[in-house]
Amino acid sequence: MGHKIAVYGASGTTGRFVLAELEKRGHTALPFGRAQATADDPAALDRALTGAAAVINTAGPFAITAAPLLSAAERAGVPYVDVAAEIEANADTFARGASIPAVPAMAFFGGLADLLVTAAIGTWTSADSAHVAYGLSGWQPTAGTLAAGQVSHDRRAGRRVRYVDGALSYHDAAPPTLTWEFPGGPRQVIGEFSMADVVTIPSHLNIPSVTDYMSVSAAEGLRSATPRTEPESFVVDVRVRSGSEERRLTAAGRDIYAVSAPLAVEAVERLLSGRFHGTGVASAGAMFDAPDFLAALSDVIQSRHCS
């Protein structure tokens, strides 16, 4: 039986993908945006959530929208999911906590890598490091991505961020460029290209160092901010290391914005059907059975263990 799911930011790129995914799965979307309810209007947000079983927040910058939407979800007593890629906004959500089940960064950046690392670590209770390499064929960012990125850039005064020794740290050092051996062959990547993974993964896994890498072609596309014309293909290669041992899991697919929709909607379905762990704010890997979640999305995300 379908549910009524509120979608904030429904007119944006990711929001439209979420609406289509909800319809595909037999749910009724309750779309709304800033024209109906701005983030600083609690009463309007409450009206927008009337009758909703859950809310998916796709409207960045999440530094502005996440806390108000999460508060509205608490008042309505419904689960909250967002697709935030902003490092600081996600850190704020985890620090805030919630009285309802809430999953931030349930998207390509943040959620997918967290699921992959959680599945890869398996029975290990800890690891020395996690490495997440993004082999994107390119990146044509949406206006929302650029706006959210600027907010994060301004919040950290243009500094870079990394997760080492169990904590986020900010620095001005130039990032390294190196070669990453993806399953399909080597690619040039930029190291310490930190994404929301540096918040989601260590939020529940005992890993003191999390490092992201981004293909040079994608980083150049992000910098040039070329208008979006066609979707990119992607490979996400995660390696979890403990001493001399390494566990590796790779996922592949197409369109980093489109794939965020099944990730977010699958999360909502699991929250509404009781297939989750605990309550409060938790990342995808902590809230759900990671291998089972990935298997459920095998039509859009092809994952496999690598030797």
Region of 157 (left: φ > 0; alpha: ψ -120 to 50; beta: rest) is left
Structure tokens at 290: 């990671």
For 225-239, the pLDDT digits (tens) are 888 888 999 999 999
Torsion of CA 220, 222, 228, 232, to 10 degrees: 70
Residue 111's φ and ψ, nearest 5 degrees, are -75, -50
Q: What percentage of the chain has pLDDT greater than the value 90? A: 89
CATH superfamily for 4-107+260-289 is: NAD(P)-binding Rossmann-like Domain (3.40.50.720)
Given the structure tokens 């014309």, which residue do they identify? Answer: 229
Lowest mean pLDDT among 9-13, 109-113, 226-230: 226-230
In the structure, what pLDDT confidence band is assigned to residue 252 with cuts at 50, 70 and 90? very high
In the structure, what pLDDT confidence band is assigned to residue 307 with cuts at 50, 70 and 90? low
Residue 125 burial by Cβ neighbours in a 10 Å radius (0-12, 13-18, 19+): exposed
Given the structure tokens 């800033």, which residue do they identify? Answer: 34
Closest CA to 111 of 275, 232, 266, 299: 266
DSSP-derived 3-state class of residue 89? helix
Distances (CA, A) of 22 to 10, 18, 49, 238, 295: 12, 6, 16, 29, 19
Domain layout of the chain by residue ranges? 4-107+260-289, 109-254
For 13-59, the pLDDT digits (tens) are 999 999 999 999 999 999 999 999 999 999 999 999 999 999 999 99
For 142-184, the pLDDT digits (tens) are 988 989 889 898 999 999 999 999 999 999 999 999 999 999 9
202 HSE (CA, 13 A, CB side):
24
Spatial separation of the C-alpha atoms in residues 203 and 116, rounded to whole Å: 15
Structure tokens at 305: 């263990």
For 175-230, the pLDDT digits (tens) are 999 999 999 999 999 999 999 999 999 999 999 999 999 999 999 988 888 888 88
Region of 119 (left: φ > 0; alpha: ψ -120 to 50; beta: rest) is alpha
Please check the confidence at residue 286 and state whether its pLDDT lies above 60: yes
- pTM, whole model, 2 decimals? 0.96
- Tell me which of 94 and 227 has the higher pLDDT: 94
Spatial separation of the C-alpha atoms in residues 30 and 36, rounded to whole Å: 12
Structure tokens at 206: 């005992």
Closest CA to 282 of 89, 90, 127, 113: 90
What pLDDT, on the 0 to 100 scale, is given for residue 29? 98
Region of 179 (left: φ > 0; alpha: ψ -120 to 50; beta: rest) is beta
Report strand pairing: 102-103 vs 80-82. parallel
Query: If you classify domain 109-254 with CATH, what class do you get?
Result: alpha beta
